[in-house]
Amino acid sequence: MGSIALIRQEFSDADWYGRAKAAVARNPKLPLVETNVAHEALRAALEANTTFVAHTQDEHDIQRWQLIAKEFPFNLAFRGTGLEYRRLGMVSATKPTIILPLQLPAVPDVSDISVAHRVSLEDLIHWYWAADNPRLLDSAGCRIAFTTDGLKDRSEYLSAIRTFVEHGLPRERALAAMTTNAASIAGIDNRCGKLASGYIANMVIADGDIFNDKTTIRTVLVAGDEHVQAPRADVDIRGHWTVAAVAGRTLRAHVSGEAERPTATFKADSIAIPGTFSVDNGRISFTLRTDTLGATGVARGTAVLDSILMQASVVMADGSTASVVFRRDSVIAGEPPAKPSKPEVRRGLPNWLPLDPFGRTGEPEQESVLLRNATVWTCSSDGLLQNADVLLQGGKIAGVGKGLVGAGTAIDATGMHITPGIIDEHSHIAITRGVNEGTHAVTTEVRIGDVLNPDDVNIYRQLSGGVTGTHLLHGSANPM
């Protein structure tokens, strides 16, 4: 509450400051306005139509900020929470710009029935729908971008976006969120975000569809300056090789895997020879356990990388040396480019609000109900009525008395007492993030209406106790 009041006051002050300075400029006889650099900076930003980015803490903060932007008109974008899907209708009504975080919830632990009950339905809903949030917002017409802010391991950036694509976010929309949308929000879309003449040479070069998890980013250009991420192999040695001779035996080597990080298996006839194999800095290194070849121990060797013929120097377990030739017999064709996977078919977003265990698909239908033969506490000049009826129609009391007739449901209330719904005259339910303002004793500048939480389960709990109206007030720590 206090933060919203402070923000509104600052915008109001900046507005007054600008108008007061303009008035003095028109009429030098007016008293000078004391210079305030903060007001000047905010006023200049407003006059330049600068986009302000509001950091939200829940999905309702979007509407709270939009009310401020409506009172003091300014351009607004949001740093989202990933929870916007929970109020998709409210958010999509204004189609805001939202910069989305990339954190995704861990899979809830329901493996053991002794702990599974601790996982709430709300947590399960979020686990299922969190990765759909970008798709839902984009399909609703919101402009989205992504941020690594809050991501513990920023190398997971692309992995998270690939997950969004798997959950139905179109590839071209995901790429726009990473490029053109981001550039537009930052105000640099006249020179960044596109591969176009005159734009800064910022590029990502990959060996396949960037949203496929088997694709490797090879190099990145920043203003034309190349930063190699994963260089291609200078020599692709994958294939079948004849190795002659180790401990007097000719071996067969099968080299497979990725061209940059190949692996190899060795055989003497049909017998597998245990060992290791690696490629680094233009050389191969290998070890072979030669016990099955008649030489106890492990032989170690190295050779300069070549695509056809490699001459290896080998040191046997007894310290003797030998020359071994690797001769290529055939190649292994690389794997064909991975085809884009089809997005997972997702079920429709539940249409109840709030999106938690107590949500509803709509307002309850107002039935016609006749309560018969009760003791009725009218709290009016009629006083206490014995053996009386109460007729409800369209959500209102249509009549109180004896012998009433009405269509709909009739309930025998003999022995029951009926009173007006209880009104809680001082309550702190359904208020977001605290009700006391600890820095001020007098807090008449704040408004409870700014921080209402319509999803608070305590609303239901009060209804179950007969409370039908609540007066939400500031904390008792504040006299005013």
pLDDT at site 441: 76
| 380 pLDDT higher than 60 | yes
**In the predicted model, what is the mean pLDDT of residues 280-295?**
94
Q: CB neighbours (10 Å) of residue 323?
A: 12
Sheet with 249-257, side-by-side order of all strands: 271-273, 262-268, 249-257, 239-246, 321-331, 309-315, 298-304, 283-289, 275-280
Give 128-160 pLDDT, tens digit per residue. 999 999 999 999 999 999 999 999 999 999 999
Confidence of residue 225 (pLDDT cuts 50, 70, 90): very high
Of 312, 200, 307, residue with least CA distance to 255: 307
pLDDT at site 478: 73
Strands 321-331 and 369-377: unpaired
| 116: its two tokens | 């599974």
Instruction: Please state, in angstroms and rounded to a whole number, the distance separating the CA atoms of residues 178 and 157.
Output: 11
Find all residues with CB under 8 Å of 475, minimum gap 6, and list them.
Answer: 428, 434, 435, 436, 437
Q: In this structure, which amino acid lies at residue 155? A: S
311, β-bridge pairs: 325
Angle at 394 between CA 389 and CA 399, to 5 degrees: 25
Find all residues with CB under 8 Å of 41, minimum gap 6, and list them.
Answer: none
Question: 97 near 108, Cβ under 8 Å?
Answer: no
Give 458-474 pLDDT, tens digit per residue. 999 999 999 999 999 88
- pTM for the complete prediction? 0.84
Q: CB neighbours (10 Å) of residue 434?
A: 12
Among 215-219, 229-233, 252-256, 296-300, the least confident range = 229-233
